[in-house]
Structures are given as C-alpha cells and as structure tokens.
A = this chain, B = another copy of it.
C-alpha cells in the first residue's frame, strides 16, 4: 500500500512487461482515454499491453478503443488501474483482479489506496493530466497517444468548463493539440451532439417543470411513461440533473427519475445557500454539499412532497 510519485510509476512500468489495464464501472472518457493512452505508450516502449474490455463502455468511446482490447486468452504479468478510486468501482469483469492491482494511477481525492503502489494526484481535474506527465517521462507524446488523453481531459472537465479545470489542464491540452490531433472532431462528438431522444426528454422536462419558492426551487420529473414514450435508454438520460441545474435563477434543482412504480430516484443540486447532502440525508441519501441523491419509495408526487419537506426542514435549521 505504498504511495509513489509519477516519475516512480513511469520507472516501475518501464522496468516491467505484459500489462493488463483496468478501467472503472460505468466508464467515462477519463478512465477509457487514460487506459488507451497508457496502452499505446507502453507498446511504443516495445511492451505488450492490453485493456480489460469494459462491458459498459458505450459506442461513443469505440473509436479510441480500436486495437487495444485484450483478447480472451491474454495472460498478464502485471495489473494496472487508471482513474479507479476503490475496488468497489471495478466492473464485473475486473472482480477477479481484486487485491491484485500492482499500480493504481488516479486523481480522486477519495482514492482508497487499494493497490500495492498508488500514484494519486488529487489536484488534477482529469487522470489524463497525470498520464500526460507519466508518458512524457518516456518520450514526447505522439498524436496517437495525445488523442485519447485529450478525450480524458476534455470529458472530465465538460470541455474546460467545470470548476475543476486548472491552468495545468489548459497547458496539457495545448501540448496535446500541438501533436496535430483533431480536437474539434472530439469536441463535436462529445460536447456538440445530442440525440433526438435526449432532446425530447429535455423538452418534456421543460413542459412539466414546476417552479416553487418564487422560482428558486425547480422540480423536474422523468416518468416511466416518458421513458417508454421516447424509447429512452439510460444513455439518453445520463447526467440529466445537469440540465435542470443550468436554469437561470434556480438555486435548488431537483430531478426525479421514476425507476419503477412506487420507487423514485432523486438528484438534488444546490448553490451555497443550501447543503444538498443534509437535504438528502433526511431521506436516507447523501453525497456532496452541491450535489446529492436519495431514493423515495412512492410516486413522483410523493417524491415531490418529500423533497420539498426536506428542503424546508434544512432551510429552517440554517
């Protein structure tokens, strides 16, 4: 359970061979981009490296995973994980590797140090920033390696818009773009394209949105009937809470997903004037001060009543 620096991690990798790289459950651009970049960089060093195929990787990331997914008969000598904070976040296929990860590279403050060697820089917006520093210990990044690293950086920062974006994020992005990668194509694909179904769901949310507390609290709902009507998948409603969160003048944005009859999942986003984790704790949930979640056993109407009561209770305490 040792902690090592990026330079030490680079040396450790360079001295070994035959790697399997793990990504996390519900994989995003950071974990997949880091894994692909590390795999390609290790191969450039003349080594054998593969990614453990992640069954939950969506088609959005397919272009970055060509030629890097391990064949079924691959036997690795060393297991490395990228962007994984704990073994609880292993996808099913990675469960056999619990307790066997030798090197974990990560940027989550919540990293549990589950590997033999842990290289964690929690001040980085994306794990891709760490991988950039690591790979450049070996050689200047090539376009092939830079593309998945750009995907890692841009997707974890909403294309440099989230508050985690730092000067270092921009500096690494500049270095990656210097290699001639088509960043505009990545941006169009990940940030300037929405499915028809997603936009229909967003439109339905606006049609049925309820504003309370003189417009400061917004209650949005996506019912089972909505999901069925639009034939929406989980991918279509991913991070849908952010949609309501962008409403001007709204301080508290509640998004209710009816998961099955009598069960609703709530996502609560708040500004500094209200602690979302306290609100959700009252309903058995939790999370962060600005973004939390909870489950209400009841109808959408029940969920609205429950969350409004919880909001009022926390407000009256503050």
Contacts and interface: CB of A to CB of B under 8 A. Distances in A.
Contact of A194 (B187, B204, B246): B246
A79 B161 CA distance: 35
A226 interface: no
B187 A177 contact: no
Interface stretch (A70-78, A166-174, A291-299): A166-174
Interface residues of A, number: 41
Contacts of A188: 163
A58 to B, nearest CB: 13
A178 interface: yes
Interface stretch (A2-10, A99-107, A195-203, A280-288): A195-203
A306 interface: no
A165 interface: yes
A122 interface: no
A192 interface: yes
Contact of A163 (B173, B175, B184, B202): B184
Contacts of A166: 177
Contacts of A173: 160, 167, 170
A195 B248 CA distance: 5
Interface in A224-267: 245-249
A218 to B, nearest CB: 9
A81 to B, nearest CB: 28
A182 to B, nearest CB: 9
Contacts of A187: 161-163, 165
Given A167-B177, A167-B178, A171-B171, 11 more contacts: A159-B159, A160-B160, A163-B188, A167-B173, A167-B174, A170-B174, A170-B177, A192-B246, A195-B248, A196-B211, A199-B206
Interface of A: 159-163, 165-168, 170-171, 173-175, 177-178, 183-184, 187-188, 191-196, 199-200, 202-207, 211, 215, 245-249
5 nearest A-B pairs in the assembled complex, by CB-CB distance: A163-B184, A203-B203, A203-B206, A170-B174, A167-B174
